[in-house]
Amino acid sequence: MKGFIKEIVIAVIIAFVIMQFIKPTIVKESSMQPTLYENNYILLNKQAYHFGEPKRGDIIVFHTGLKLENGKEKMLIKRVIGLPGETITIKEGNVYINDKMLDQSFTKDGYTDGDIENLKIPEGELFVMGDNRLVSIDSRLAEVGCVKIDDVLGKAFVRLYPFNEIRTF
């Protein structure tokens, strides 16, 4: 009996430690197509930015001030486009970082709507957008704006479901 209790305690401790580093998440909307689709099951590295800096192209889940219909906080999943201190411009369907045009081949339509001129991203914040730019609620909208790195819940590092689409990010 002692051995059984010891095994359960060890299993609980291991599960607790894993949950400090990894958070499973289900994609709920279409704003990250064609990279992620609704009901994709992904894992987040919750400690990614405690040990390193965000990089352009990272896919993150973050807290927002937005609310769901049931009153709970709406979390968003987006791609990091602009980093702290950079200047972003969006015009004529293109995105420019520090006056250099960004490759948008990973987006659904290869086009970004909206107009932003010379927005300097504050220190400690990120400019994020979905890959499906025409439907994405992201940093282009005042209600989201630039995202504080402290508000990032985690960085997506693997898609586990659907099984035939398992991949790392």
105-155: pLDDT as tens digits: 999 998 899 899 999 999 999 999 999 999 999 999 999 999 999 999 999
- Is the backbone of residue 118 left (phi > 0), alpha (psi -120 to 50) or beta? left
Respond yes or no: is residue 78 known to be catalytic: yes
- Please confirm whether the linkage preceding 162 is cis (ω < 30° from 0): yes
Marked catalytic residue, from 55, 67, 72, 78: 78
At 20 the pLDDT is 81
pLDDT higher than threshold 80 for residue 82? yes
At 68 the pLDDT is 84
Residue 163 vs residues 18, 36, 39, 166: alpha-carbon distances, Å:
22, 13, 12, 5
What average pLDDT score do residues 79-85 get? 98
Marked catalytic residue, from 31, 136, 139, 155: 31
Tens-digit pLDDT profile for residues 1-41: 777 788 888 888 888 877 888 999 999 999 999 999 999 99
pLDDT higher than threshold 90 for residue 51? no
At 9 the pLDDT is 82
Paired tokens of 25: 């998440």
Question: Do 95 and 80 meet the contact criterion of CB atoms below 8 Å apart?
Answer: no
More confident position, 169 or 18? 169
Rounded CA separation 52/63 (Å): 19
Site of tokens 């994709």: 40
pLDDT confidence bin for 69, thresholds 50/70/90 = confident
Respond yes or no: is residue 31 known to be catalytic: yes
- CATH code linked to domain 24-168: 2.10.109.10
